[in-house]
């Protein structure tokens, strides 16, 4: 068999496998899966939070689809008595499931990860000593973006959300007519 013919056979096979995967799993599940999100987290952590000592396990996952909540950070309470005694817990960062859609720019997810990691660095739902009384008051999150040289990322995120989110929800995640007109207020935790 000629080389060209073998290559074309192989590329047909790859095409066939890809089409099968898309039909079977759905496009978004292949593209922005849990592994993709973990890679994104690792990238953010290495580049912007290398100074933060993560002494416990941090997990990141896609959460339910939400109109308002972009992300949150929480503790998984220790399951065994030994863990409770050691005061060990896992930190879990949850990202809005709607952001799996590739229409949503990657910088939105990056920005949410930075936001939640800022909470971690401030000692909220992390083993680090708590730095502030309240997680959001006094612009502490914005200051963290600026401190780490990524003030523009936060600005970009706010601008995109302001200009696009309402329309995205109307087109992709509509709710009942009665409260349809009310503008969505966004929040993090
Ligand atoms: Zn927050």
Q: Distance, CA 67 to ligand 1 centroid (Å)?
A: 16
Q: Is residue 174 very low, low, confident or very high in pLDDT (cuts 50, 70, 90)?
A: confident
Q: How far is CA 51 from the centre of its chain?
A: 21
Q: Give me the pLDDT at residue 21, please.
A: 61
| Integer Cα distance of 183 and 165 in angstroms | 10
Q: Distance, CA 182 to ligand 1 centroid (Å)?
A: 23
Q: Distance, CA 7 to ligand 1 centroid (Å)?
A: 51
Q: Domain map of the chain by residue range? A: 1-30, 32-179
Maximum CA extent, the chain: 72
Per-residue pLDDT reduced to its tens digit, 114-166: 999 999 999 999 999 999 999 999 999 999 999 999 999 999 999 999 999 99
DSSP string, 131-142: --SSSSGGGHHH
**32-179 architecture in CATH?**
2-Layer Sandwich (3.30)
Q: Distance, CA 72 to ligand 1 centroid (Å)?
A: 7
Q: For residue 88, with 0-12 CB atoms within 10 Å meaning exposed, 13-18 middle and 19 or more buried, which class applies?
A: middle
Q: Distance, CA 189 to ligand 1 centroid (Å)?
A: 4
Whether residue 22 is predicted with pLDDT greater than 70 in this model: the reply is: no
Q: Distance, CA 32 to ligand 1 centroid (Å)?
A: 23
Q: Which residues surround ligand 1, an ion (CB under 5 A)?
A: 188
CB atoms within 10 A of CB 90: 16
Q: Distance, CA 133 to ligand 1 centroid (Å)?
A: 13
3-state secondary structure the chain: CCHHHHHHHHHHHHHHHHHHHHHHHCHHHHHCCHHHHHHHHHHHHHHHCCCCCCCCCEEEEECCCCCCECEEEEEECCCCHHHHHHCCCEEEEEECHHHHCCCCCHHHHHHHHHHHHHHHHCCCCCCCCCCCCCCCHHHHHHHHHHHCCCHHHHHHHHHHHHHHHHHHHHHHCCCCHHHCCCCCCCECC
- Rounded to a whole number of angstroms, the CA Rg of the chain reads 20
Q: Give me the pLDDT at residue 78, please.
A: 76
Q: Is residue 104 very low, low, confident or very high in pLDDT (cuts 50, 70, 90)?
A: very high
Instruction: Give counts: helices (H), strands (E), the chain.
Output: 7, 3
pTM of the model: 0.79
């Amino acid at each position: 068999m000629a080389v060209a013919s073998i290559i074309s056979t192989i590329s047909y096979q790859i095409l066939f496998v890809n089409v099968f995967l898309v039909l079977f799993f759905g496009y978004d599940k292949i593209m922005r899966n849990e592994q993709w999100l973990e890679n994104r987290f690792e990238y953010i952590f290495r580049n912007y939070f290398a100074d933060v000592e993560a002494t416990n396990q941090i997990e990141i996952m896609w959460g339910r689809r939400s109109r308002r909540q972009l992300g949150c950070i929480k503790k998984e309470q220790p399951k065994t008595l030994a863990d409770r005694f050691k005061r060990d817990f896992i930190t879990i960062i949850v990202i809005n499931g709607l952001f799996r859609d590739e229409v949503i720019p990657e910088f939105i997810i990056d920005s949410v990860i930075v936001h939640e990691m800022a909470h971690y660095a401030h000692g909220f739902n992390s083993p680090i000593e708590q730095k502030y009384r309240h997680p959001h008051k006094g612009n502490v999150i914005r200051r963290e973006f600026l401190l780490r040289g990524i003030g523009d990322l936060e600005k970009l995120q706010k601008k995109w959300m302001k200009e696009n989110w309402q329309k995205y929800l109307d087109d992709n995640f509509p709710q009942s007519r009665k409260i349809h007109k009310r503008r969505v207020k966004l929040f993090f935790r």
